[in-house]
Amino acid sequence: MAQLEIRNLLFNYDNRVESKPFSLSIDNWEINEGDFISILGPNGGGKSTLLKILARILTFKKGVIKLDGVELPEISIKEYAKKVAYVPQSAHSLFSFSVYEIVMMGRTPYLGLMGFENEDDKKIVDEALELMEITNLKNKGINEISGGEAQRVIIARALAQKAKLILLDEPNSHLDIEHQLSIFNLLTNLNKEQNITFVSVSHDLNLVGIYSKDVVFVQNGKITLQGKKHEVLTEENINKVFHINSKVTYSPDFQTANIIVQPFTGMHN
């Protein structure tokens, strides 16, 4: 049984001020426990929209989404949050919550009627802060730290949630190369050791080539390609989706890929 299953999904943005309104249509997609999937595609193709639907931020019009075999309307938001966590692109807040308070919000689905955290909650939050190497920031306000640090705070919140499926919308945004590799190494270890499923929207072909198991291309509101990384992340497919030439070299065991993008020659429209 799939961990998350999508059938005949249809979503439209209402009152969108465009000559051609955007819609997302997914016929059939399954996410299995332990997957590490990267979603790639051109800007405006529907990648983030798809993730927000799975996070229950946006409501789809038609179709079926099942989590562990149960349709979404039958699962309470609280119970869903125990199983699925979402990391958005932007981590800044309108309110001056501390880093510790933000990460503790990941424990909200587990708090009792009085809403007080217990020692187990505090331990889990401390562990998440340590994993993200932000313990030293715990007393700082979320708006007092850098964008890269704030991004790690939001990932720590997702880890504190103890979800078995984590949705990440460009988790490497605002991060320098050292912290990009550090975070993806951490996510890979969690994927292997705790069997946590990761679905990540990305624009970085090389990070996808190194860390992902499966790749999904989303274009014009549809999944156009999906499968194992070495089957989908090819020079031909990259050219079809992004209209660029590249050189893709896989390791002998097909575990990692190195993608070299060739510059345009002359004018490009």
pLDDT at residue number 156: 94
Long-range CB contacts (within 8 A, 24+) of 230-238: 230/254, 230/257, 233/205, 233/208, 233/209, 233/257, 233/259, 238/205
For residue range 140-151, list pLDDT tens digits in order.
999 899 888 888
Would you place residue 7 in the very low, low, confident or very high pLDDT band (cuts 50, 70, 90)? Answer: very high
pLDDT at residue number 213: 96
CB 80 within 8 A of CB 115: no
Q: Which helix (H) or strand (E) holds 184?
A: helix 177-193
Would you place residue 122 in the very low, low, confident or very high pLDDT band (cuts 50, 70, 90)? Answer: very high
Distance between CA 166 and CA 158 in Å, rounded?
7
Q: Is 30 a residue whose pLDDT tops 80?
A: yes
Distance between CA 131 and CA 155 in Å, rounded?
10
Domain 4-261 fold:
Rossmann fold (3.40.50)
Q: Is 199 a residue whose pLDDT tops 80?
A: yes
pLDDT at residue number 96: 81
pLDDT at residue number 171: 87
CA dihedral 56, 61, 62, 68 (to 10 degrees): 10
pLDDT at residue number 208: 96
Would you place residue 90 in the very low, low, confident or very high pLDDT band (cuts 50, 70, 90)? Answer: confident
Distance between CA 221 and CA 171 in Å, rounded?
21
Mean pLDDT (whole number) for 118-136? 95
